[in-house]
Amino acid sequence: MRDAYIVQSVRTPGCKQKKGLFNQTRPEELISFIMKEAVERTVNLKPEDIDDVMLGCAFPEAEQGLNLGRIAAKMAGFPDEVSGATVNRFCASGLEAIALASVRVSAGWSDICVGAGCESMTFVPMGGNVPRPHPEYSKTYPEMYVSMGITAENVASRYKVSREDQDIFAAASQAKATAARDNGKFTEIIPTPAYKYVVQPDGTYKKETFIVEHDDGIRLSTPEGLAKLGAVFKVNGSVTAGNSSQTTDGAAASIIASKEKCKELGLTPIARLVGYTTVGCKADEMGVGPKYAIPKVLKQVGMTIDDIDIYEINEAFASQALHCIRELGIEKYMDKINIHGGAIALGHPLGCTGAKLTATCIANLREVGGKYGVVSMCIGGGMGAAAVFEKL
């Protein structure tokens, strides 16, 4: 197996579904822009050097359909010879895409491959436009189709995660994200063009462009303020809009190259994927996935929780993130976990999230002078995924 190195990792801002700044910007425009920027910002790399694109997308239909991986490559200006595929592992799709891109390079199937993620939850909502659960199986095993919010309620009640603790955790996420935004810590973000359609005097619409520089869902909160919000998934429940991840639009891309190609073209490695794993769990408590996936990947690479400098654990819900942190025994390392906030403040653009968190993890390792980072998330249907990255 060959050495595979990440030579670039960037993301767009994340913007709120329907109410955010990307609500009239199609997913193809987001992902093609960030892929083009990833190449252009990599010294000595040209589009024709890319062999293949692995693109994560949780609901690859409608505007995100027809093999978005190939369409995005063409819209980015890559030549015909650059192929593309769309990868779906729900919330881990972007991380899966980066893992597959790394494997392709390590196996010698590609010399340079893009691992990316994209989701516009404005254009394609959670569950897709026309969900069709199997009629008999949905009666036998309805947990496979249950709302993610109900799974978060299940985690909260089964594992005794209090509403107060969830709101404290959520407020902390917002506070960290606010401070990071205000102090220019999101160095992995590329200011991204967005579009809006403005009605003209003659009744036609003009497509206008503006630039989005920051995640637009950050909202400084207090536990006391969040405590006033009502539960949204269960009567007398504890999971609210304030302690859940935001549904979001966004895209991210990493470029992975072989050691040989780095030497040939003069590319500078910035990180590498050390290990990656997935694991299944009960579908009706899918949020517990990281507590199984993180130990599994650490065992795979011969490391322990004490070896990790940065944890990016997706905050699908405060209940599940808190439970996993406690079960993993890493509460003592809260200063290493989601140091600039998580999905409660920054959003969870489904198929983009793994690619987005990879860019964030690498940037944060650089900031703190760390060497090893973990990216992990729970996955709809009852799974967890985790990866270990090494900063070079």
Give me the active site residues, please.
91, 348, 378
Contacts of 266 (CB under 8 A, 6+ apart): 43, 44
- DSSP per residue over 144-172, as a string? GG--HHHHHHHHHHHTT--HHHHHHHHHH
User: Residues 72, 41: contact at Cβ < 8 Å?
Assistant: no
Tell me the two tokens of residue 57: 């997308």
Helix (H) or strand (E) holding 379: strand 372-379
Residue 330 CB-half CA count within 13 A: 27
User: Residues 42, 114: contact at Cβ < 8 Å?
Assistant: no
- DSSP per residue over 255-318, as a string? EEEEHHHHHHHT----EEEEEEEEEE--GGGGGGHHHHHHHHHHHHHT--GGG-SEEEE--SBH
User: Residues 340, 364: contact at Cβ < 8 Å?
Assistant: yes
